[in-house]
Structure 1
């Protein structure tokens, strides 16, 4: 909506940039922001600020609320994000099921459900799910965010081993059905975006490592994803970190890959799959060989140490079902990476925030692509609880 290329029209570009700034200020202080507050924060005149707010209200992005507390003069009218009109559809696609969420502009989840399929029926079920939302909500759909395992440039699934997709133009396909812009996002990138979104003022590099059926990583800089030019950043699962007799065979055909030691299958046994719920993962952890888990912690620590020496991240976050490994695993990773290489600083290492909803990263990315703004941590957490 505000992301049109205005390079040939400077006046329109400035107007759109100011609309984004004003809207972000409302997102940051929904329910307390005012026109005067926007004017002060942006340095724009009161008339310009009022004009921007009027356009945002007309676009069903902002709504007026109660009058603010008086500061000595006429009481100003507060502004809030309009959560009653625009919607973001989120699909978290996995091999045999997809989590489907409908998120309002204020971050509140209106609906969340799971649809199941087989590899043979997956395309039809996903197409029908998007078509159902389009038929029900029409022009209210602001954007569609699709989170999936594999590499993507935002438009095409370049490669997904788990889904057995390669060079699939999924965004184009869904756009033809939804009539709204579609953004594809790697699942680990989505988790990293959501984790960064829980920070009020994200700054510096943050390294996010996902441990599940595979191992992946993503880096954010000042809260924004920092992808590589070929959309392959974070593919660390098949970097060799274990050598000699301790190096195990990896499913890729090599030995000693990070994934061969630190993915949850090698640590918890062959019963682990990415689609297990958390209680089932906890049950596997309870009866797992602790030596195997410690071996995975050592392998992960080596990778973290190398990446941290290069990036100097503010912190390292471990996410995915690995958060169920408990405090012992986290302490082992910290201990194994605990002696900083000369001239470096060991970053804090923690598990991902359990309050982050599954659909938050893809929803956040779709919102930013459509409007150029981000939710506050409070709004992001709201996506965990569907509205009654």
Structure 2
């Protein structure tokens, strides 16, 4: 009996894997993929491919489209992503504001809402927004993801200095309001995932560094996050890299942390916050001390050089709002990396792409968690109904 149950479990696992493979092909070639194309790409029989497609259609993940181009015989029916029912909820939770979005399976943003709050009003304001969204979209949400600063195991906020949270079961709390599964993701991991969404090729190992009011890192391998056994991989902000009289006091209480020199707060001043708009940031940028900018670039380069020597990434991407520092800062980082430590490869460094919405990583995380597939570049679009 046990042997029979194991066989059934194995068959079900194979079926789930083939469903994901078939669905990913439709996501990669929406409006072009066919049942015959799925059979060819997967090596499955035509009957099995048709069975998989039938299940995907029944689950409202795929819809039939028009006729494919003729190849000499009967024209096949094309398959597209079903954008008419399921929605993915993505929220970016920050210290002073939150951005929530509902994204259809084809990557179209159908609703967007932003709220601002203080530390004392945050919890109530977020609960009220989640309640509004659940009342309107609850029956269509497939999964919810929440992007936040700090360490998380996907269910609990283990530690977030900026949100003043420690061991908070946030996913469970939000599930009680939304009525759908909630998964938490670190903000830097989400940004690294968003960068993957912008590209066709995901092969290789890459290092992603976030510069904002804090500093964090993430590593992607073939497009997937490498979180580490304790889910704290990339927590580089409070590694000491500056010593002696140039070491600045960090908010953690130590001196010389990379965050104390390379964060935007360190470079632009304590008035900087990631919620500021371009007009509010402009005077801070104009007042930047060139020496402060250079020291920040040197501190960041030290971390990149050490991690790069260990991991040998194909490239290093600087993300977050750091792009506002412009080419001057990026060139200063490159100059600090210019020496070649013996035995290491030169490191390619660039800014992250800026043509994706701020919730792109959280939305892709929700999609991959729920269905095990990825969007292709340019699928995640902004056509929202704003609250």
TM class by shorter-chain length? over 0.9
- CA displacement, residues 49-68 of structure 1 (integer Å, 9 cap, x when unaligned): 01110110111100111111
Deviations 1:221-280 (A, max 9, x none): 100000011111111111111111211111111111111110111211222112212443
Alpha carbons of structure 1 residues 93 and 64: separation in structure 2 relative to 1, 3 Å: same
Q: Which residue of 2 aligns with 1:263?
A: 263
| TM-score normalised per structure 2 | 0.95
Q: Is the 2:337–2:347 contact (alpha carbons within 8 Å) kept by the matching residues of 1? A: no
What corresponds to 1:216 in structure 2? 216
Q: Give TM-score, length-normalised by structure 1.
A: 0.95
Matches within 5 A, 1:77-156: 77-156=77-156
Return the offset for 1:8: 6.5
Question: Take 1:158 and 1:278, find their aligned partners in 2: how far apart are those partners?
Answer: 33
Checking the alignment, whether the CA contact within 8 Å between 1:97 and 1:117 is kept in structure 2 is: yes
Conserved? CA contact 1:282–1:324, under 8 Å:
no
State whether structure 2 residue 47 is matched by structure 1 residue 43: no
C-alpha distance after superposition, 1:331-363 (max 9, x if no partner): 110111012211110121000101121001011
1:70 to partner: Cα distance: 0.5
Aligned counterparts of 1:84 and 1:278: Cα–Cα separation in 2: 36
Structure 2: distance between partners of 1:300 and 1:182: 34
How far apart are the structure 1 equivalents of 2:338 and 2:152?
Answer: 34
Counterpart of 2:172 in structure 1 is: 172
Q: 1:96: how far off?
A: 2.0
> What is the root-mean-square deviation of aligned Cα atoms in Å?
1.5
Contact 1:282 1:325 in 2 (8 A): no
Q: Distance in 2 between matches of 1:19 and 1:363?
A: 21
Q: Which residue of 1 aligns with 2:158?
A: 158
Cα distance in 1 for partners of 2:285, 2:31 equals: 44
Distance 2:347 2:270 in 1: 32
* Distance in 2 (alpha carbons) for counterparts of 1:283 and 1:18: 55
Q: Give the secondary structure class of the aligned counterpart of 1:377.
A: coil
The separation in 2 between residues aligned to 1:7 and 1:286, in whole angstroms, is 67
- Looking at structure 2, the residues matched to 218 and 280 of structure 1 have their Cα atoms a distance apart, in angstroms, of 29
- Given the superposition, is the C-alpha separation of residues 385 and 290 from structure 1 closer, same or farther in structure 2, using an over 3 Å criterion? farther
Distance in 2 separating the partners of 1:334 and 1:38: 45
SS, match of residue 75 in structure 1:
coil
Matched position secondary structure for 2:19: helix
Correspondence 1:358-377 to 2 at 5 A: 358-377=358-377
**Runs (5+) with no aligned partner, structure 1:** 1-5
